[in-house]
Amino acid sequence: MTNSNRLRLTWISFFSYGLTGALVIITGMVLSNIAEYFQLPVSSMSNTFTFLNAGILIAIFLNAWLMEIIPLKKQLIAGFVLMLLAIAGLMSGNNLAVFSLSMFILGVVSGITMSIGTFLITYLYEGRQRGSRLLFTDSFFSMAGTLFPILAGVLLARHIQWYWVYACIGILYVAIFILTLISDFPILGKKPGTAMNKEAPVKEKWGMGALLLAIAALCYILGQLGFIAWAPQYVTGTFGMDIQQAGGLVGNFWTAYMVGMWVFSAVLRFTDLQRIVTILAGLSAILMYLFLASGEATHLHYYLLALGFVSSAIYTTIITLGSQQTRVTSPKLVNFILTCGTIGTMLTFVVTSPIVSTYGPKAALYTANGLYLTVFVLCLLLGFVTRHRQHSL
């Protein structure tokens, strides 16, 4: 494989994570405008975004098999067509059924693209370089969380319809589509002598640590997205911020999150992963509580910056610890933990919408705070059963 082709495939992976990040993170920014557009309560409207999250989950789960049947290039080209259809559906009119279907299609496209992007990185890079590349790829999720809430705030403040935000997100897939047309793709499972092929016959029990990490992944993603989804509603209602200010606040979180990932990619090489993830989870729970307890709008930016930075390495470290629970890294184990995290994405509004409907946005944020505290407890318990110290160098 030529270096230029490897670079193009790597950028497809980067953009795939950016696409998923933009679609998931933007929900909290556009939720009020969409609810007003369809003349529904915000809590009821949020339930329709479960279709987006369900599409992502189903696509990631099924594509583990589909990648062996349908060539990657054909999947990405088909994804471009589906993306156009979904955005056209969002713009077509005031029809809730069409909106829900379009959201589901966007989720499917996002899930397929993200699963392909993850596979490409694991295929193209090995050893420590693979871990570094995965962490950098994941930072594009955060980068999208920095840019698109700000963009949405600017568009909505100028009374531009919410669906143009999704049209802007679609530009990311245009980049993926162009790169796809000029790239050559590997075939899943055909790379000789890879770790994946060598690991196939190895069967090893995952242990209790894997279960704790899977639950921690679910709780962390559910807590994070539940917090980000309702934080704009909370700050606009409680502190009188406008939508553009709320977008800047969310953007600050993801900017710090992105920077934190880059910093911790170096720090984690010299620390025990179980100990550092426990500390980071505990600090994150404290910072989120301080954000909710604060009565000063000026302090919110500082708490969110600190929260974004401190929490940035938690999910990646959970996945890494999961891969070290067996002597030889099990792709199925890693996929199981990733799937649990994606279930957390799907459950975001299923869990938080009834809470918001009954008690308001702040109650949903306290629920997210409780989930972060749960992650801390799970990581603490992991210290008694983890196998990563005997399996890692």
Given a cut of 50, whether residue 199 has pLDDT beyond it is no
Q: How confident is the model at residue 195 (pLDDT cuts 50, 70, 90)?
A: very low
Alpha helices by DSSP H, listed for 330-360, are 331-346, 348-359
* 339 and 219 Cβ atoms separated by less than 8 Å: no
Beta strands per DSSP E along the chain: none
Which residues are CB-contacts of 295 (< 8 A; sequence separation ≥ 6)? none
Q: What is the pLDDT of residue 305?
A: 95
pTM to 2 decimal places: 0.74
Cα 228 from chain centroid (whole Å):
11
Please report, as a single letter, which amino acid is at residue 307. Answer: L
- The least confident of 79-83, 132-136, 236-240, 322-326 is 132-136
Of 176 and 263, the structure prediction assigns the larger pLDDT to 176
Q: What is the pLDDT of residue 201?
A: 46
Which residues are CB-contacts of 253 (< 8 A; sequence separation ≥ 6)? 145, 228, 304, 305, 307, 308
Which residues are CB-contacts of 233 (< 8 A; sequence separation ≥ 6)? 28, 31, 32, 42, 356, 361
Q: What is the pLDDT of residue 204?
A: 66
Q: What is the mean pLDDT of the chain?
A: 85
Calpha distance 216→196 (Å, rounded): 26
Given a cut of 60, whether residue 159 has pLDDT beyond it is yes
Phi, psi of 204 (to 5 degrees): -145, 140
- How many CA atoms lie less than 13 Å away from 204 in the CB half-sphere? 19
- The least confident of 9-13, 144-148, 292-296, 363-367 is 144-148
* 321 and 274 Cβ atoms separated by less than 8 Å: yes
Q: What is the pLDDT of residue 382?
A: 94
Task: Render pLDDT for 296-328 as a digit per residue (tens, 0 to 9).
Answer: 888 999 999 999 999 988 987 887 788 778 776
Burial-class residue 236 by CB neighbours within 10 Å (0-12, 13-18, 19+): middle
**Residue-range domains of the chain with CATH:** 1-186 (1.20.1250.20), 204-393 (1.20.1250.20)
Q: Which of 23, 32, 142, 38 is nearest to 83 (CA)?
A: 23
DSSP string covering 289-324, please?
HHHHH---HHHHHHHHHHHHHHHTTHHHHHHHHHHT
Q: What is the pLDDT of residue 10?
A: 92
Of 68 and 329, the structure prediction assigns the larger pLDDT to 68
Of 244 and 286, the structure prediction assigns the larger pLDDT to 286
**Which DSSP letter does residue 325 get?**
S
Given a cut of 60, whether residue 191 has pLDDT beyond it is no
- Per-residue pLDDT, averaged over 217-232, amounts to 93
Lookup: tokens for 216: 């921690």
Lookup: tokens for 161: 């319809």
Place of tokens 């339930």: 47
* 286 and 252 Cβ atoms separated by less than 8 Å: no
Place of tokens 């556009």: 30
Task: Render pLDDT for 11-67 as a digit per residue (tens, 0 to 9).
Answer: 999 999 999 989 988 887 888 889 888 888 887 787 788 898 889 888 887 877 788
Given a cut of 70, whether residue 131 has pLDDT beyond it is no
- Per-residue pLDDT, averaged over 76-97, amounts to 92
Q: Which of 128, 172, 165, 127 is nearest to 149 (CA)?
A: 165
Q: What is the pLDDT of residue 130?
A: 60
Q: What is the pLDDT of residue 189?
A: 53
Given a cut of 80, whether residue 116 has pLDDT beyond it is yes
Lookup: tokens for 325: 């629970």
